[in-house]
Amino acid sequence: MEQIIANGLYLGAQYALIALGLTLIFSLMNVLNFAHGQMYVLGGFVTYTIVAQFGLPFIVGLFASAIVLAVVGALIEKFLFAPVIRKSKREESTMLLAAGIAFFLDAVILLVFGEKQRGVPKIVNGVLNWDFRIIMPYDRILIGVLAIAMIAGFILFMQYTKAGRAMRALAQDRMAAELMGVDVKRYSMIGFALGAMLAGLVGGLLVTITGINLGMGGPTSIKAFMMIMIGGAGVISGAIAGGFILGMMESIGLTVLAAYGDITYLVIFASLMVFLAIRPQGLMGKPWG
Amino acid sequence: MKRRTLLKTSALAAVASLSFLGMAHAENPVLKIGFVGVTSGPAAAWGISNQRSMETRAAWLNELGGYEIDGQKYDIQIVAFDDQKDPKRAIAGMEKMAQEGIHYVVGPNVDDGAAAVRPVAEQNGIMYFPYAFPKELYTAPASNAVLGMVANYQSGPAIYKHLMENEGVQKVAFVAANESDPLSQRDGGVEAAKALGLEVVSDSVTYQVDTTDFTPVLLPVIQTQPDLLVLSGVSPANAPQLIRSARELGYEGLISTETAQDATVLQEGAGELANGFISVGGASTPELASDAMREFVDRYTKMFGEYNDESNTKVYALEYILETIKANPAAMTDVEAFKTTMDTFEAPNPYMVGDAKLTYVGTSSFGQKRQVSVPLVVNVFKDGAFETLFVAQVD
């Protein structure tokens, strides 16, 4: 049981961090960013390049991932999403744009980084073995702690900084925020950059554990969408809750249901369908949006 | 007037140069060979290593002045189609090959794609070389598919037997991705292990290919304390993570797979934890590789920046197609002539030292020669490179 909880917490921390970026972008701009997984992958490849190719410390790679993805996110918002949102009132326009960006990033990643699985050396060696009740490599513990620290940092940023307050105001009521003098264009771009940066940071963190490859983008996006559906789209606390719930469900399922084959995600999806039928707005979302 | 003359002269010179270039290009007729496989998405590495192997060899042959068949030199052109691991796309790809008049196609890479293209290939007179294992593709009445590698039901028993006799393996556990190819490979492996008298302690655990943490997946498997952990049909992307998780959970037994892997990927993903990992490869280990194989690796690396060890096996399909057509030039447009030639075909294997031969095999497994004979080289990973554990032949 201890092992299941430890695995669930570790998975939950990384999932929550992935979901945060997605839900932030959704809350600010009402955009379903299907390219979120590809941004995660790009972040992983940036860290890989800095650490494995250039031989620089892991922390430099992590910072590089954050900066590169923040810039990519800002550019995507400024030159792609902002004009489309301005010109089109149809929500599917931004959805199609996001899907197009996902395909584009996939192609760019293939061209630049190649088709192979990539990884960087372990940042910490050794395994915690607590009487065979919990076995957890130290690097996973470190990554889990870093992910939780980043979630805490993100919450503090949103709570206590001017930019954070502006973005929360935007998320609550775009028009009211604009009337109160919030620079909507600027904070939309900052919000998108922050969301992309979070995706890049998780990619950079996890490249030390899971490695990274071209095909990880789509499945990552799907999991991120599941998390915000569980927690409630556009709600930060909901994304965190969704991440930890999904991580725990996965951990329990993979242990308890192992004897019945790979039915963990079948059970999770079935549960999600029932849950959404009862509470379509998710745990913490509001029925009116 | 002078200016006009100059312009006319320049234009004539340009036309003449272009014509000359065109003539130089048109000197050799072109022989098109197709590739239909997955070159994007999670399994991109499988198809890209195929396509790049073919392109490297084609460029090499063209650089030498073309490939000679019946006294005529041909430039080899590779026509590639990404099926995205989708059977519907694979059918579209094979139809495109038919429209281009291509009779020889390498691929697809996976079971369902290979099965899907069969009617198109048979109706359009196309021989195809899949990297997929379903026996019905290669067993009569099917006759247009030629297995491009060693199947797991051929390599598995050889590996298990070797490990039983040399490492005292008695208990074996299987883990596979929840996809058709790995699952069918797992079932074949379980059957082979049982037939050899091994005790199968776990064979029901599977995982999603996008799993990011294999610790909970492997925990129940490791608790069964196997001597050998078989990663059935594992992709190069998942192998290092599975190995790493197993070792971090304290597993000290042997780990093997029947698929080809890449040494760089293993080293980057699992480092020294991958030492001792057993996989199937081609003929690139120093003791087996010929000068031609080394040159192929060099050329591939120069063309694409980095070599992929999976190409040690995938270098062969194009070679077999060209050599068989060379043995019977009528096969260039007549696949029935190709099939007839396969029964008696034999040529030197340029990629291995010694007197290794290119021949078609498969009589034992399929009742007819519908498999290329590539050496079954079982490798063991050690400190960033593969070492040959043993070599066997398949029929």
The H or E element that residue B387 is part of is strand B385-392
pLDDT value at residue A36: 93
Summarize the confidence of residues A35-56 as an average pLDDT.
94
Summarize the confidence of residues A176-203 as an average pLDDT.
91
In this model, does residue A24 exceed pLDDT 60? yes
Chains A & B: contacts with CB separation below 8 Å: 117
The Cα–Cα gap between A59 and A143 comes to 12
In this model, does residue A1 exceed pLDDT 90? no
DSSP string, B38-92: --SSTTHHHHHHHHHHHHHHHHHHHHTT-EEETTEEEEEEEEEEE-TT-HHHHHH
The Cα–Cα gap between B234 and A207 comes to 19
Which of B210, B213, B236 shows the shortest C-beta gap to A10? Answer: B213
Residue B287 half-sphere exposure toward CB, CA atoms < 13 A:
9
In this model, does residue A31 exceed pLDDT 50? yes
Residues forming beta bridges with residue B106, ordered by sequence position? B35, B129
**Would A244 be classed as within a structural domain?**
no
**Would A176 be classed as within a structural domain?**
yes
**Would A181 be classed as within a structural domain?**
yes
Max CA pair span of chain B: 95
Q: Using alpha carbons, select from B33, B14, B54, B26 the residue that is nearest to residue B311.
A: B54
Give me the residues of A, 247-266, that contact B with CB < 8 A. 250-251, 254-255, 258-262, 265
Q: How many CB atoms lie within 10 A of CB B388?
A: 17
Distance from CA of A135 to the nearest CA of B (A): 6
**How many domains would you assign to chain A?**
1
CA B113 to chain centre: 15
Buried b (16+ CB within 10 A) or exposed e, B205-226: bbbbbbbbbbbbbbbbbbebeb
DSSP string, A184-230: HHHHHHHHHHHHHHHHHHHHHHHTTTT-B-GGGHHHHHHHHHHHHHH
**Would A225 be classed as within a structural domain?**
no
Q: How many CB atoms lie within 10 A of CB B133?
A: 24
Buried b (16+ CB within 10 A) or exposed e, A116-150: bbbbbebbeeeeeeeeeebbbbebbbbbbebbbeb
Q: Are A261 and B248 an interchain contact pair (Cβ–Cβ within 8 Å)? A: no
Reading the block at residue B223, the tokens are 């608790």
Which of A115, A120, A209 shows the shortest C-beta gap to B45? Answer: A115
Reading the block at residue A258, the tokens are 């192992």
Reading the block at residue A243, the tokens are 């991440």
Q: Which of B248, B266, B303, B309 would best serve as a mutation to test chain A binding (most A beta carbons within 10 A)?
A: B248
The Cα–Cα gap between B280 and B391 comes to 10
Q: Are B268 and A52 an interchain contact pair (Cβ–Cβ within 8 Å)? A: yes
Phi-psi region for residue B385, left (φ > 0), alpha (ψ -120 to 50) or beta?
Answer: beta
User: Is there a cis peptide before residue B141, judged by omega within 30 degrees of 0?
Assistant: yes
**Distance between first and last Cα of chain B:** 78
Distance from CA of A74 to the nearest CA of B (A): 26
A61 in Cβ contact with A47 (< 8 Å):
yes
Q: At what angle do helices A2-29 and A184-206 cross, to 10 degrees?
A: 160
Phi-psi region for residue B145, left (φ > 0), alpha (ψ -120 to 50) or beta?
Answer: beta
Q: How far is CA B241 from CA A256, B160, B236, in A?
A: 22, 23, 10
- Can you list the domains of chain B with their CATH numbers? 30-149+288-374 (3.40.50.2300), 152-259 (3.40.50.2300)
Which residues are CB-contacts of B324 (< 8 A; sequence separation ≥ 6)? Answer: B331, B338, B341, B342, B345
Phi-psi region for residue B247, left (φ > 0), alpha (ψ -120 to 50) or beta?
Answer: alpha
Q: Which residues of B touch A117 (CB under 8 A)?
A: 45, 236-237, 240, 265, 268-269
B368 in Cβ contact with B377 (< 8 Å):
no
The Cα–Cα gap between B90 and A145 comes to 45
The Cα–Cα gap between B59 and B299 comes to 9
Summarize the confidence of residues A41-56 as an average pLDDT.
94
Q: Which residues of A touch B269 (CB under 8 A)?
A: 117-119, 211
pLDDT value at residue B24: 44
Residue recorded with tokens 């584009």:
A104
The Cα–Cα gap between B129 and B137 comes to 10
The Cα–Cα gap between B342 and B324 comes to 7
Q: Are A215 and B216 an interchain contact pair (Cβ–Cβ within 8 Å)? A: no
pLDDT value at residue B18: 46
Reading the block at residue B106, the tokens are 């390498």
- One-letter identity of residue B102: I
Phi, then psi, of B344 in degrees rounded to 5: -115, 0
pLDDT digits (tens, 9 = 90+) for A146-171: 999 999 999 999 999 999 999 989 88
**Would A201 be classed as within a structural domain?**
yes
Closest-approach residue (CA) in chain A for B207 = A262
| Mode of pairing for the β-strands spanning B376-382 and B278-281 | antiparallel
Which residues are CB-contacts of B372 (< 8 A; sequence separation ≥ 6)? Answer: B129, B146, B147, B148, B149, B316, B317, B320, B358, B360, B361
DSSP string, B12-24: HHHHHHHHHHHHH
Q: Which residues of B touch A7 (CB under 8 A)?
A: 213, 215-216
Q: What is the ipTM of this complex?
A: 0.75
Residue A243 half-sphere exposure toward CB, CA atoms < 13 A:
29
Closest-approach residue (CA) in chain B for A121 = B268
Closest-approach residue (CA) in chain A for B212 = A210
Q: Which residues of B touch A111 (CB under 8 A)?
A: none
Which of A117, A206, A255 shows the shortest C-beta gap to B265? Answer: A117
Q: Does A105 touch chain B (CB under 8 A)?
A: no
**Would A264 be classed as within a structural domain?**
no
Which residues are CB-contacts of B99 (< 8 A; sequence separation ≥ 6)? Answer: none
Q: Where are the alpha helices (DSSP H) in B117-213?
A: 118-123, 152-167, 180-195
B295 burial type by CB count under 10 A (0-12 exposed, 13-18 middle, 19+ buried): middle
Q: Does A52 touch chain B (CB under 8 A)?
A: yes
The Cα–Cα gap between B34 and B78 comes to 6
Positions in chain B short of pLDDT 50: 1, 18-25
B263 in Cβ contact with B386 (< 8 Å):
yes
Closest-approach residue (CA) in chain A for B52 = A115
The Cα–Cα gap between B217 and B200 comes to 18
The Cα–Cα gap between B290 and B64 comes to 19
Print the domain residue range for A156. Answer: 2-214
pLDDT value at residue B4: 56
Q: Are A262 and B178 an interchain contact pair (Cβ–Cβ within 8 Å)? A: yes
Q: Are A119 and B268 an interchain contact pair (Cβ–Cβ within 8 Å)? A: yes
Work out the mean pLDDT of chain A and round it to a whole number.
88
**Would A288 be classed as within a structural domain?**
no
pLDDT digits (tens, 9 = 90+) for A244-288: 999 888 888 877 887 776 788 889 999 999 999 999 888 987 765
Q: Are B216 and A254 an interchain contact pair (Cβ–Cβ within 8 Å)? A: yes
Q: Are A262 and B41 an interchain contact pair (Cβ–Cβ within 8 Å)? A: no
Cα angle A184-A190-A191, degrees, rounded to a multiple of 5: 85
**Would A132 be classed as within a structural domain?**
yes
Which of B206, B268, B269 shows the shortest C-beta gap to A261? Answer: B206
Q: Does A281 touch chain B (CB under 8 A)?
A: no
The Cα–Cα gap between B46 and A213 comes to 13
pLDDT value at residue B282: 66
pLDDT value at residue B388: 86
